[in-house]
Amino acid sequence: QKEVEQNSGPLSVPEGAIASLNCTYSDRGSQSFFWYRQYSGKSPELIMSIYSNGDKEDGRFTAQLNKASQYVSLLIRDSQPSDSATYLCAVKSLLYSNSGYALNFGKGTSLLVTP
């Protein structure tokens, strides 16, 4: 079983602070990693993708990848109340039938940004 693990939270941070979300995965062969944001009652929305070790920045979001440690993280700078949502870590893994790849999701971390 290819596992993707996240702390379920809730993670509570004050407005303007940095929120740090973490994810570990078991499939060493995975090549691509994604962060989705999901508001309550809505569908997952892609916010970041990362493929190489190191940091990738996009606006207030920074994704970090360490393949040796099998660890992915998402930093949200200057957190806003509108960032309050569940953040899903997803790892692209080879399907058991070897017919291709699909996303394998963690259970998500709930983030609450308080004014």
Min dist CB 17 to another protein, Å, is 26
SS3 string of 5-44?
EECCCCEEEECCCCEEEEEEECCCCCCCEEEEEECCCCCC
Provide the minimum distance between the beta carbon of 60 and another protein in the complex, in angstroms, as a whole number.
20
- Binding footprint of another protein on the chain (CB under 8 A): 8, 30-32, 34, 42-46, 49, 51, 88, 92, 94-95, 97, 99-108
CB-wise, 51 or 71, nearer to another protein?
51
Distances (CA, A) of 101 to 43, 49, 91: 21, 16, 10
Least distance CB 6 / another protein (angstroms) = 9
* Between 62 and 104, CB nearer to another protein: 104
Amino acid at residue number 24: T
How far is the C-alpha of 58 from the C-alpha of 16, rounded, in Å?
17
Of 23, 25, 109, 7, the residue nearest 73 (C-alpha): 23
- Closer CB to another protein, residue 88 or residue 113? 88
Nearer to another protein, 77 or 107 (CB): 107
**Minimum distance of another protein from residue 11's CB (angstroms):** 17
